[in-house]
Chains A and B, each alone.
Chain A
Amino acid sequence: MSVAPGSAIPMVSLRSVDKHFGDLHVLRSVDLDVAAGEVVVVIGPSGSGKSTLCRTINRLEPIDSGQVLVDGVPVPAEGAALARLRADVGMVFQSFDLFAHKTVLDNLCLAPVMVRGTPRAQARREALELLERVGIADKAGHFPAQLSGGQQQRAAIARALAMRPKVMLFDEPTSALDPEMVAEVLAVMTSLAEDGMTMVVVTHEMGFARRAADRVVFMDAGAIVEVAPPEEFFAGGGSARTRSFLSAVLSH
């Protein structure tokens, strides 16, 4: 959970990043550094730009101006160089997005074999270990549609981990899940955080932010309003905007 000592270069760095969707200014001069091993949880109201921020890190959303660096390297604009960078950045989506025509095991093996050139037997072995780790080893031969939402999301996390990423991005990983399945996914994410994975997590799960975050980033209207360690953030000493958001989400 702690920041690795001596890591001068941030694992992820956003420098005065701006982005528009037409007239909508979705990211306003965003600056954010995420150190290696750090867990940053991004929260904020809908439309605040937190998902967009997450998606700029592997350039699923191109930016208008500014700079995004991963492990000190500027994210390439396109082509093979961008694909290589993306291979090192794991991503987990709200809607799981497992490959529907592949078994869970094949979902995990596909990218290591096709992108990294990992021998099939080794990819298989590592995939089974990962499935064990996220608690669905018994589902290896099943197809995604045969799994519950929580199981699918755990498989999706394992699929991203199979590439041995330097950093993991989570874009609202529990928003599409039934409440009882949220816990099993958050448990996997918490153990990942404890193992020292660098993580950027966009979520509405305040409990996860409290428990697992090194820092909480609060966004509103495309800008970062506040960055603070969770105990400080949830103590309510921040800006008026932060306090009104917290009183709204924590009241129920």
Chain B
Amino acid sequence: MAAADVRDMLNLPAEGQPRPHKKQKVVEKRPEGITRELFALLGERAPPIAVNENRYKGRPKWLTKARAKSWRMTPFTNGARSDDLVLSHWKREPTPEDSMPTEGDQAKEEQVTTKPAEQEYGFARFNIKARVPDRYTTDEYNRHLKSDEWSREETDYLMDLVEDYDLRWVVIADRYDFQPQPVENTENSTALVPSKRYRTMEQLKARYYFVAASMLALEHPPSEMSEAEFDLHEKMIKFDAERERHRKELAALQLNRTADEVREESILLEELKRITANEQEFITERRELYSRLDAPISVGNATNYHNSQGLSHLLQTLLQADKSKKRRSLLGPEGIVPTPGGQTPINNAPGSARDSSRADTPNAGPSQPQTNKKTAAAASATNKESIQQAIRTLTPAEEARYGVQHHDRLAPGVQFRSDRAQKLTQAKSHVQTQKLASALAELEIPLRLVMPTERVVKDFEKLIHSVNLLLDARKVSEKVESEIRVLESAREERERKAREVRGQDKPEVKSEQQDDDGSEIAPAAANAAAFQANQAGEDQTEANISSTPANGPDSGGTSGAGDGVSHKRSASVLSNASDKSSKRQRK
């Protein structure tokens, strides 16, 4: 008896809380394949390993109930065949529900035998023939299709083949083997050697297309053709056997390329791919560059940046702008930007300001090219500078690598190096320019530099200077020579006169010797001047000019145009020449 019943009997109110359920014993079913002992060791939690049971499951229940369907070897005919060949295959018997269950074996037999007849064989519908044009009649052939190349018999043979092989031209051309029937069988076989003619696929195609197009046109005149027919007709009419043959020759060439040619082609293709890939990159880069160049030109006056106060103010504003852009400042504390590969490093803030306010055409820049001297070789100066700046000091090698340069003075605006080089070749007078050009032409150096890199331009500059030097020297030497000639003729004149008067004047000779002495001293000065010119540039012109008159006579004439590729050599040549000349003069 349960407690509830007792309460009921005693008319006690039911307990507020329901009677606690009897704790149900959770008995997990022991999976098969695990021994009882092992299972007892396991806790309540099932092991994380799925226990696989590899047991034969047997047939599904729904299958065991159904009766096995019976299959029967059934004869059938194929609608795609012209004869009525009867083959037999296994076919499932119609289910008993389909047929009347009361029917006997006789009826069944009948059904089986009649069925194939009424039912179309499933695969017969795949029997498709290519559409070939209608066959011509003799009359049509004689009127429209006659050809010198093709006999009626051979045309027939071709059309048969085309039909047999469903327009597979590769096979048709392969199997084409027309043996012309000897016209007279009685003739002796030695006299009649049927020349076997090989027809190429193009010849076959040309003939067939001609026939087919003609037949199509006969059926419907082109004006009445449907669009598809007209297209087909056009295509067949326009078949060009010669072109096709040419195409095949090219295809054979393409197929029989050598390994080298194939490799070359693949390399070229690779290159092309690379170029097209780079092109996009290049375009975006250029666009970026243009957008920078097109930045609004600052209209503010640059003079307020000329003092340090203005500069620091500018730096502050720039840094501010930088920060506001939330970008990592690229600027160092002093505003030096070691732009890798950058061609216009900014020495200080005004530089950048100038950059932005530069004139928009490069031609405006080189108005004062001489002042825009680069003294990259002045390494000591840059070193000092970098120490002062107390930022990352770059070694000369690194500087060269990153293209960092230091300028004493910068001309405003952007200039092109090529323009500067170009400017050098322009002398003041037209004649002088021409002489310069001819000297360069003799050295086989183009007037316009092909690749005006920093170093090339620097060397070019030196070259032009020395060429100028030589030209000047030559001019002076010519002048001196002519003077000498005049003087000598005057002397001869005088000597002649003196002989006539039989008088001798020694002071004249003495003065000549003095001249020689002067020329002996001069070469040394010239040498020194030449070396200095190599090293330090333009200031030497005056010195040179002042020294050249002395060593002029020979050096101007002999080595004036010949030297110049290397300046040291030219200098030595100069000195040699001058030595010789002085010796000769001494003699």
Asked if A pairs with B, the answer is no
